[in-house]
Chains A and B, each alone.
Chain A
Amino acid sequence: MTTKAGPKNPVERYLRMDRMPHIWCPGCGIGTTVNCFARAIEQSGVDLKKLAIVSGIGCTGRVAGYLSFDSFHTTHGRAIPFATGLKMANPELKVVVYSGDGDLVAIGGNHFIHAARRNADLTVFCVNNFNYAMTGGQIAPTTPLDAVGTTSPYGVCERPFNLPFLAKSCGAVYVARWTAYHVRQLTKSMIEAMDKRGFSFVEIITPCPTLYERRNRLGDGLARMEWFRDNSVIRHGSDTRYADIGFQEKIICGKFVDVDRPSLLEMTQAKLGDVVSHRRWQEMSRRQRRPLGEEATKG
């Protein structure tokens, strides 16, 4: 890239500037979420060396490739199990899964619910633009009832997932939802989510003006942001059962869950730590009775 005079991007140090320009469309909300994430990292003071980003496939799947930390662009739907292995092998890492709705809760839905159930030590950011955008605007398990997509030209006839409810019922210790309009609240939630031990989850509703908004005649990116401003209702602590998103209906935002429960790592260490220390004690007492090596030959 040629160097140009002028102001630098304030979060440049968190980005791979040698990969700019990015692939996202004008008016897309993913870049906004990345900006919030960069500021969240700055404000949280997380050790950048120990931060790893794992994405799946899709528009949001490209986030990993634009962030300057250790970053992994894995396979469709499998960011969470990759991240689970990464974290288990190196518990010092702060592992953030950053992916889209189709990736995380359609093809990756099974991994999502199990990671929440285990309370795996992961922070999951789900950018929900209500459709599969990379492939041209097909419907997803998050597309609101009656909305139009290329694979549902007459309107969706399946009920979508209510992601905060799904995450909460599976055991997530932190659940929040914001739109791309709520940049300050989102940044704060990202910091809180990364600070939790266990499975924390933030859903971020974003515009997809090229596909979802255009096909459903909802205006451009700016119009959509105005819509988010006027139609979001902030209800912290709200019962997630009522956080469904209907087509062009109010979007309930806020922090819904913030509880403490031992994480997968903590549970594993507690359980196996006991086993190992008990076994070492057994071994020591056995060795006092028998010459070393005798038991080993028994298989």
Chain B
Amino acid sequence: MPGYVSAELTGAHYIDGDHATAEGAIAAGCNFVAGYPITPSTEVVERLAGRFPSTGGNFIQMEDEIASSIAIQGAVWGGAKAMTVSSGPGISLMMEHIGLAAMTEVPCVFVNVQRGGPSTGLPTLPAQADMMQARWGSHGDYEIIALSPNSPQECFDLIIHAFNLSEQYRVPVMFMMDESVGHMTEKVVIPPYNQIEVTPRRFTTKRPGEYKPFALDNGSMVPPMVKAGEGYGIHITGLTHDERGYPVMNAQIQDRLVNRLVDKILKNVDKITRVRDDGVEGADVVVVSYGITSRISMRAVRMAREKGVKVGHLRLVVVWPFPEQLVRQLARKVKAMVVPEINLGQVVLEVERCAAGNCNVVSVPHAGGAVHNPNTIYSAIMEAAG
């Protein structure tokens, strides 16, 4: 990082995905980050530690990832836009607090620069094996949103989107990078800050005494917020709670709360879904991919097209919530779907479930440590095309 950079970095840059993520967070209005060093994500917090004094943000290196993942939630209640950054082992430690953020509806972002696992695994090499953990890792039923960028430019653009979604739905958003994207250096264009769309936090218009922290208004499934220190005297708990935020230990309140937490995401799948469609219409075979693997898939798709195969490419930019309807409809139109991912088959399970036997679903697994060889995906496409 250069010795000095001004607060706004509008212009073209040659930076890696980790640095682009840090810049995108700043552009999104993030002003609190707590983190703990871990490869391959550390550059994100290093950049922020250097940049935040100029942009008015706070960075604190906590004693562990458990502390980081809850310090950000304290900061959110203090009025900040907050995120934490880690990789597999650290994200595993954060799981309880991802559940807390889901339960107490704290808008925040968890960046996971994925590396090979399980356990310490391959600290410096890529994987996409935390996708199911991102979705289900904490205990209990809940829904989160997960985004998967495939380039440094997208790290910048999508982390802003991640913050916006977290505010819109009051939900923790998982930003599922991987070592390749994090350490890949490419051109990143940062637009003028006043042209960047940032979703502000929705604060209540009610006065203290009238406001209930988890009461819905205007038909929304997402309650408006307040911050500490304004006289509302809110109570926030990870226990099952009613509209006042008070703990209530019974099945009715549990049913109402947990269903709303899940429904506010699942009933808005159409709004949240974001895919990139490359020649899916009229294709016989469709490659479904996300993150770095989508770039390898592009090459394989081109190779297959050169052989005259009608192959499309559907890239999941938002992986969770899963675009269920879209995949269901697609399954009725194509012969096969090919799902390459740098794990032993995680998102492919969802594709299979939604295809419901209407087309062939082919997993192209990779245990991690490298990206796929395009030929492997190409062969799977050719075989599926028959």
Contacts and interface: CB of A to CB of B under 8 A. Distances in A.
A87 B79 CA distance: 10
A71 B78 contact: no
B231 interface: yes
Nearest to A107: B66
A90 B75 CA distance: 8
A52 interface: yes
A75 interface: yes
B374 interface: no
Interface string B1-44: 01011101111111100000000000000011010000000000
A83 B155 CA distance: 30
Most chain B beta-carbon contacts within 10 A, residue among A75, A78, A81? A81
Contacts of B58: 88-89, 268
Contact of A71 (B71, B79, B234): B234
Given A81-B66, A85-B78, A73 B6 contact: no
B97 A78 contact: yes
Contact of B78 (A68, A88, A282, A296): A88
B238 A74 contact: yes
A71 B77 CA distance: 10
B12 A50 contact: no
A84 interface: yes
A105 to B, nearest CB: 14
A48 B230 CA distance: 10
A19 B246 contact: yes
A93 interface: yes
B70 A82 contact: yes
> Looking at chain B's contact residues, is the secondary structure mostly helix, strand, loop, or mixed?
mixed
A85 B237 contact: no
A85 B75 contact: yes
Contact of A88 (B60, B63, B231, B234): B60
Interface residues of B, number: 55
Given A89-B74, A89-B78, A296-B10, A72 B64 contact: no
B236 A73 contact: yes
B339 to A, nearest CB: 36
Interface residues of A, number: 48
B100 A75 contact: yes
Nearest to A16: B235
B132 interface: no
A134 B76 CA distance: 29
A276 B50 CA distance: 11
Contacts of B4: 279, 282-283
Interface of B: 2, 4-6, 8-15, 31-32, 34, 53-54, 58, 60, 62-64, 66-68, 70-80, 82, 96-97, 100, 227-239, 246-247
Given A49-B229, A73-B237, A85-B80, 5 more contacts: A50-B229, A75-B96, A75-B100, A81-B62, A82-B71
Q: Which 4 A-B pairs have the closest CB atoms?
A: A89-B78, A85-B74, A299-B13, A85-B71
